[in-house]
Amino acid sequence: MNTLLLKNNENDIEKAGEILSGGGLVAIPTETVYGLAANALDGNAVAKIFKAKGRPADNPLIVHIADFEDIKKFSLVSEIPEKAYKLAKAFWSGPLTIIMPKGSAVPEEVSAGLSTVAIRFPSHKTAQAVIKAACCPLAAPSANISGSPSPTTAAHVISDMNGKIDAVLDGGECSVGLESTVITLATPKPKLLRPGGITVGEIEKVIGEIDVDDAVLNQLKKGEKASSPGMKYKHYSPNAEVILVASGDEQYIDFVNSKNSGDVAALCYEDDEKYIGVKCYVLGKKGDYKAQAHKLFKKLREIDKNPEIKTVYARCPETSGVGMAVYNRLVRAAGFEVINLEKV
Ligand code: TXA
Ligand code: MG
């Protein structure tokens, strides 16, 4: 299949809409990461997403809308919980996904057999325009091959998906850089399933206390059931081995320098690189989690491009605010391997 490269203009947005309403696949920009979109109401179109990504069939997809009213208009949920209205008012459009009881129009392929459905209203104007042009809600996981870092540029999408999908719409670099925050309202108490650009603290200001699923920060135990199927799969896995290093600045620098060899790299904070003798990939300023979130997947992909690197020692972020999302992605990339120098 020849994958069309579409531009961010009216004509090409129309073209993307036509491909999608005709049952095809188009990768589209959102404010979080690029999504691989199909008509969410067409089970056959959605099935193609799983094939192109190599995604396990039991991992459900997020349905993207361009207007709150789309939820009712397309019978996407069976009931809109009171707290969903509050969350939508505070955070939509934006990088928050809300899980609700599934509606009659949602095909099995989208919900992967669950009784719930995940809904997101992206703030990216091009994403909204494509949804409107397609005249249907769009099911869209991140547009990467399952298991590789989510794409934050059209070039990342092409490197994973060229020849496998109908088109990629190039809308430039994604601003957030990590996937949306996912919260379920289908449990008695709202529960965070995936941290993202919208933080626990921001959500609690709007709907009161929420739970944070254990698997957000910890490894699922053997045989434990995942609240969100995506939690149980290996994620964001670069070719090199990633190891998180929890320590102070000087300890980290000394530790990495003690490993000084050609096949080691550091995924570090700004200024660390001045004192480190191995190849450095700079995530951003220490404590500036938004900047780190924006760059994380890009840096993991850059590391993948250097076959000489066998081990990456990454700084371990705090788990507060957006740091929770950066930690969540990094610790998965590291297969939960963390060296705690304070404890050694
Ligand atoms: O920012 C984002 O959310 C991006 C952009 C494209 O919108 N999309 C994205 O989709 O990250 P994906 O498929 O890569 O991640 C969706 C996550 C998966 O871990 C999936 O298991 C979970 O959401 N999920 C989807 N529907 C669910 C449901 N009904 N119940 C529990 N988890 C669900
Ligand atoms: Mg994904």
Report DSSP state, residue 230.
G
CA of 208 from ligand 1 middle (Å) equals: 23
Name the residue of 142, 213, 297 whose CB sits within 8 Å of the most ligand 1 atoms, as the mutation to test its pocket. Answer: 142
pLDDT band at 260 (very low <50, low <70, confident <90, very high): confident
Q: How many CA atoms lie within 13 A of 280 on its CB side?
A: 18
d(CA 193, CA 230): 10
Residues across the chain: 344
CA distance linking residue 75 with residue 88, whole number of Å:
17
Taking the C-alpha atoms of residue 90 and residue 205, their distance in angstroms, rounded to an integer, is 10
pLDDT for 205-254, tens place per residue? 999 999 999 999 998 887 788 888 877 766 676 789 999 999 999 999 99
Q: Which atom of ligand 1 is nearest to the CA of 142?
A: 14
Q: Whose CA is nearest to atom 10 of ligand 1?
A: 141
Residues 117-169 pLDDT 10s: 999 999 999 999 999 999 999 999 999 999 889 999 999 999 999 999 999 99
**pLDDT score for 225:** 83
pLDDT given for residue 148 in this prediction: 85
pLDDT value of position 261? 80
The most distant pair of C-alpha atoms in the chain lies apart, rounded to whole Å, by 61
Q: Which of 201, 59, 203, 73 is nearest to 141 (CA)?
A: 59
191-213 average pLDDT score? 98
The CA 241 to ligand 2 mean position distance, Å, reads 20
Task: Give percent above pLDDT 90 in the chain.
Answer: 90
Q: Do β-strands 116-120 and 167-169 pair in parallel, antiparallel, or remain unpaired?
A: unpaired
pLDDT, residue 227, reads 85
> Is a pLDDT exceeding 60 seen at residue 343?
no
Strands (E), 57-151: 62-64, 96-101, 116-120, 138-139
Q: What are the tens digits of pLDDT across the range 2-36?
A: 999 999 999 999 999 999 999 999 999 999 999 99
* 0.85 surpassed by pTM: yes
The DSSP result for 277-344, as a single string, is -SEEEEEESTT-HHHHHHHHHHHHHHHHT-TT--EEEEE---SSTTHHHHHHHHHHHTTT-EEETTT-
DSSP 121-145: ----HHHHHHHHHHTS-EE--BSS-
Q: Residue with the nearest Cα to atom 31 of ligand 1?
A: 228
Mean pLDDT of the chain: 95
Res 235: pLDDT: 65
Please name which ligand lies nearest the alpha carbon of 185: 1
* φ, ψ dihedrals at 260, nearest 5°: -45, 100
CB 137, CB 70: distance < 8 Å = yes
How far apart are alpha carbons 18 and 24 in whole angstroms? 9
Residues 90-95: what's their mean pLDDT? 98
Bridge partners (DSSP) listed for residue 102: 77
CA proximity to 312, closest of 233, 217, 238: 238
96 φ/ψ angles, rounded to the nearest 5 degrees: -125, 130
Give yes or no for residue 140 CB within 6 A of ligand 1: yes
46 pLDDT tier (thresholds 50, 70, 90) = very high
- Given a cut of 70, whether residue 344 has pLDDT beyond it is no
For residue 20, give the nearest of 189, 133, 185 by alpha carbon.
133
| Contact by Cβ (8 Å): 242, 337 | yes
Distance CA 30, CA 47 (A): 21
Average pLDDT over residues 91-110: 98
Residue 258 CA, ligand 2 centroid: distance in Å = 35
> Using CA atoms, how far apart are residues 159 and 152, in angstroms rounded to an integer?
12
pLDDT digits (tens, 9 = 90+) for 274-292: 999 999 999 999 999 999 9
Query: How high is the pLDDT of residue 323?
Result: 97
